[in-house]
Structure 1
Amino acid sequence: MQTIQDVMTRDVQTISPQETVQRAAQLMDELNVGAIPVTDGDKLVGMITDRDITVRSVAVGQDPGTTKVTDVMSTDVRTCTTDQSVQDVLDQMADVQVRRIPVLDDSGQIVGIVSLGDVATKHSADVDRTLDEISSPSEPDRSATQH
């Protein structure tokens, strides 16, 4: 059985919830990624994605230079552990329609991230089915910015 530690990306860059949305976007550009885990010290507190920035910040007219990551990040983050099976994590991704999941160690520290792309290049079984489920339309998520 292949586990997440076999396919995950290690040495993941994180960002503080107090950084600006602009800094998050710059970091995504520098790293060529679409999501960055948000940590407060060593604790995972959320994820910010390029979609969060676009839909929850830019689309509602917020200033990316002053808007904080904490104001637009997703806080209900699904995580996995290094010893979980790849299939189990693919099922989680499909259930919650996400393409990336942070990987935590036994003490809750972030040790990596696993993306659908990681799995596709290192473990091709069932990736097509998961992608179909992730790509199904869902309701827009604008709750973080609506008052």
Structure 2
Amino acid sequence: MQIISEVMTREVRSISPEESVRRAAQLMDELNVGSLPVCDGPKLVGMITDRDITIRSTAAGQAPESTRVGDVMSTQVRTCHESQSVDEVLKEMGDSQIRRVPVVDQASHTLVGIVSLGDFATRHAGPTDEALEEISAPSEGSRATLN
């Protein structure tokens, strides 16, 4: 049985909740990623995605230079720990339809890495097909409105 520490990416860039949305978008462009962990010091406090920027900031007419990451980030973030089994985390990702999960220290909740579908596809010995199918299935939920 593989555990998350065997497949996760350890060198992860994060952004502060005090940084601007513009800086988050620039960093996503530089790193060629669609999301960034948001950390207050070493502690994970949220995630910001390109979708958060588009829907919660740009579509709302907010200025990217003056809007803070903390104002548009997602604070309800699913996380995992290095000692969790790959199968358990893959199932949770499929159930929640998410493509990447921050890996945090169990005691301090500090960011130690991230695990993504790509990590599973390239480093996991078992099948990822079922999780990929669940994650990629269209969501049946209603669209939430942002106030």
Compute the TM-score of the two structures, normalised by the length of structure 1: 0.90
Question: What are the Cα deviations for residues 65-88 of structure 1, in whole angstroms up to 9, with x where unaligned?
Answer: 111111111110010011111111
Structure 2: give runs of 5+ residues left out of the alignment: none
Question: What are the Cα deviations for residues 75-113 of structure 1, in whole angstroms up to 9, with x where unaligned?
Answer: 100100111111111011112111010001233211100
1:72 aligns with 2:68: no
1:129 maps to 130
Aligned residues: 145
| C-alpha distance in structure 2 between counterparts of 1:6 and 1:51, whole Å | 29
Q: CA deviation at 1:40?
A: 1.0
RMSD of the alignment, in Å? 1.6
Matches within 5 A, 1:1-147: 1-106=1-106, 107-123=108-124, 125-138=126-139, 139=141, 142-143=144-145, 146-147=146-147
**Is the deviation greater in 120-129 or in 27-36?**
120-129
Any conservation in 2 of the 1:102–1:112 contact (CA below 8 Å)? Answer: yes
| C-alpha distance in structure 1 between counterparts of 2:114 and 2:71, whole Å | 22
Q: CA deviation at 1:137?
A: 2.1
| C-alpha distance in structure 1 between counterparts of 2:98 and 2:83, whole Å | 20
| C-alpha distance in structure 2 between counterparts of 1:43 and 1:91, whole Å | 25
Q: CA deviation at 1:141?
A: 5.5
| C-alpha distance in structure 2 between counterparts of 1:65 and 1:142, whole Å | 26
Any conservation in 2 of the 1:55–1:142 contact (CA below 8 Å)? Answer: no
Compute the TM-score of the two structures, normalised by the length of structure 2: 0.90
| C-alpha distance in structure 1 between counterparts of 2:89 and 2:143, whole Å | 23
Amino acid at match of 1:65: E
Amino acid at match of 1:60: A
Question: What are the Cα deviations for residues 27-74 of structure 1, in whole angstroms up to 9, with x where unaligned?
Answer: 111112111100112211100111111222222222211111111111
Structure 1: give runs of 5+ residues left out of the alignment: none
| C-alpha distance in structure 2 between counterparts of 1:67 and 1:141, whole Å | 23
Amino acid at match of 1:25: A
Compared with structure 1, are the counterparts of its residues 141 and 112 closer, same or farther at alpha carbon in structure 2 (3 Å cutoff)? farther
